[in-house]
Structure formats: structure tokens, C-alpha cells
A = this chain, B = another copy of it.
Amino acid sequence: MPNISDKGHLMPASPIRKLVPYADRAKKNGITVYHLNIGQPDIPTPQSMIDAMHNLDLKVIEYSHSAGILSCRQKMCDYYARHDIQITPDDIIIGAGASEAILFAVQTCLNPEDEIIIPEPFYANYNGFSISAGVKVKPIPSTIESGFALPPIEDFEKAITSKTKAIMICNPNNPTGYLYSKEELEVLRQIVKKHDLFLFADEVYREFCYDGTTHHSVMNLEGIENNVVLFDSVSKRFSACGIRIGAMISRNKEVMQAALKFAQARLSPPSLGQIAAEAAMDTPESYFEEVIGEYLLRRNTVVDAMRNMAGVICPTPKGAFYVTPSLPIDDSDRFCQWLLEEFNHDGQTVMLAPATGFYATPGAGKKEVRISYVLKVENLKKAMKCIAEALKVYPGRTDEA
């Protein structure tokens, strides 16, 4: 039997997936499990997208252009223009989710052994894409004390080597919900310009900003137009994760021409998803107002509850639909498994994401968990009650978060 590759061994198994068998067993035992572990919202997909499928008028479901259906990319440009981002369809390559878009960009911009700096905690799959491309992630810590703000510029300077090729951010952030300010983006602009690095930005949660805050896109940072690559997705925006439509966006012509060759090698992004995505682009602002209002209630429900638990530190995130509190526990992997394996409160428990999976630094994140507030307020309240009760009896409880 031939050996598998080194990458096959290196690819991390998601700490969340490791918990799935425990969740399944709990459910089999009649326990209600509140899923706060995933970024799969329960918000209905806009009817326009479903209607686009109901009205599908095709004899042959053909390949699309490798960069995506032109009319879909044009609609995307209109969407970005409404967000004060001026681009043309040539600046867009539609991918099978932001996931594929990130893979295209990493392959196009970085050589194996090149380094990419990412503030941690960060979206765990950035690790997977880096391993796929043989690229090294160099994490620099953001801290819960600052609410997971951008690390100071000195930390970036210290991390930069001759191998550094890119900085990557997620804004608003998964898993912390942190929304970068205009000033923080200016810090990034300067360091990117000074060292002539690529700036990769995952802005899939752009709309989800709370408390009167505004999202600022890297696409509007002046003087680094050829450095910036944006990743986007309709998954979270329109609660349509399954259609697998994301995009790689850049004004750097050389990057886009090279990335298109990777896109051509896989022929085309999903046509049905593109047709649905194109229909979604006309979704009225009122949809977002309603959705954001709902998420704000959910965020407040979670943050208020967490802050009322003794020993818990919980920032108030301004964006996305995640929060990463620190808990008075010994080990978040152990705690999350224990919640499913040994604990229930009135026949209910919760599934959380251990934050260890969002750190590249070994041993980091052992006190933190990511909570996705993707459930109705009523269920979130029950889930928070479970966590409160669990922290009282968890055998690995510590004095401090």
C-alpha cells in the first residue's frame, strides 16, 4: 500500500469535527444539543435565490466562463459600488466559495516556504489552504484584553522576514467578531506599502456591523491597489452557504491573469450557484436591516449572559456573528467534549468550538471558545443557561479565565 503525502499527514483535522461523534451520541441519548459551533446561520435564504432556481430556464446546464458568468460579475460590481468599492468584472474571479478564492490567491501570490502573517486567533481553514500550498503561517497574537484588536505595528515588524510575502486579515473577524477601525487599516496600509507585501482580506461578513459602526474595506486603501486581494462570499451575506459562490477580487492585473489560469484548470465555478447569487444581488437593504437587527439581539443575548458568569471575560464584538470569550477552564477541547459527553442541564447541552483550532501557536486558546450566535434568541438563552450551569460543575474549572 503506497504512502500518503506529507501534506496528507499535516492537514489539521478540525477540532470541531472531532466533537461531532460526541454530539451525535448525545442526541441519540435524547439530549437537545444547541449548535453554537458552526457558521451556518438559520436565517432564511432570500426568496429571490430560491425563485431563481424555481424559474430556471435552461436546456443544458453548461460550464460558465472560468472567472464566472459575466452578468453575475457585473451585478457584483453594482453591489460593490453601493458599498463605495469601484471595480470592474475583470477584477473578479468567482470561486467555489471564498475557500477556492483563497486557494487561488495563495497559489498565485506565494511560493512554497513563503510566509504569511496572520493575527491570531484566525479562521482555522487558513491553515489548511496554507498547507495545501506549502506556505508557512506566521501568527502574531491579538489579545482578549484589547477585544482582539489589530496587534501593534511593532509586532508585524518583528514578524517580517525576507520570506514574508503577505499579511492576511479577516474583517469583521471570524472567530472574534472584531471590526477593524479606519486607523487600524491605515497601519496595515503603511506596513504593506513599506515592505511591498500582499494584503489579503477576507470581508465575507461586511454587512454584519453593529452599534452604528462602519465597515472599511481594504479595497479603498490608497497607494496599495496592486497589493490588495479581497476575498468575499455570498454564503453568510445571504445565508446561502451551500451555493458555494465566493470571489477573489484584485485590481492587480498580473495577479488576476495568473489566478485565471488556476481558475481555467478547474474549468468553471458552479453555474446554479451563480444564477442564485446573481438573483441575490438585488436583495433590498430592508433584508439586511432585519437580519442585522436580529443578529444584534442575539449578540446582546450572548454577551450579556456570558458577562454574568463568574470568571468569564467576554468582549463586545462589533461585527460578524461570533464571539470568543475566555472561560475559567483548564482546556477548551476537554471542556467542549465534556459538555457533549458528560453534561446536560434539563436534558440540554451546547456544542461550542474550542478556540485552540483558531490558533497556530501551540497551546494557545485553551481557555477560549468560539460561540456562533446563529440560533434564535429563545434558544440562545437556553444555551447560555447550559453554559452557566456547566461552568459551575465542570471538573476542570480554574479560578480565572
Interface residues of A (CB under 8 A from B): 1-2, 4-9, 11-14, 17, 38, 40-45, 49-50, 53-54, 56, 58-64, 96-97, 99-100, 103, 107-112, 114, 125, 127-129, 132, 134, 165-166, 196-198, 226-227, 239-244, 252, 254-255, 258-259, 261-262, 264-273, 276
Contact B40 A59 (CB under 8 A): no
| Chain B residue nearest in CB terms to A125 | B265
Residues of B within 8 A of A132 (CB): 107, 262, 265
> In the complex, what distance in Å separates the CA atom of A191 from the CA atom of B2?
13
A-B contact pairs, 5 of them (CB 8 A): A53-B54, A129-B265, A132-B262, A242-B268, A244-B269
Residues of B within 8 A of A64 (CB): 242
Contact A61 B242 (CB under 8 A): yes
> In the complex, what distance in Å separates the CA atom of A165 from the CA atom of B6?
13
| Chain B residue nearest in CB terms to A64 | B242
Residues of B within 8 A of A4 (CB): 108-109, 254-255, 258
Contact B40 A62 (CB under 8 A): yes
> In the complex, what distance in Å separates the CA atom of A265 from the CA atom of B8?
12
Shortest distance from the beta carbon of A396 to any chain B beta carbon, whole Å? 27
| Chain B residue nearest in CB terms to A242 | B271
Known pairs A4-B109, A6-B111, A227-B2; A128 contacts B262 (CB<8 A): yes
Residues of B within 8 A of A268 (CB): 241-242, 244
> In the complex, what distance in Å separates the CA atom of A243 from the CA atom of B61?
7
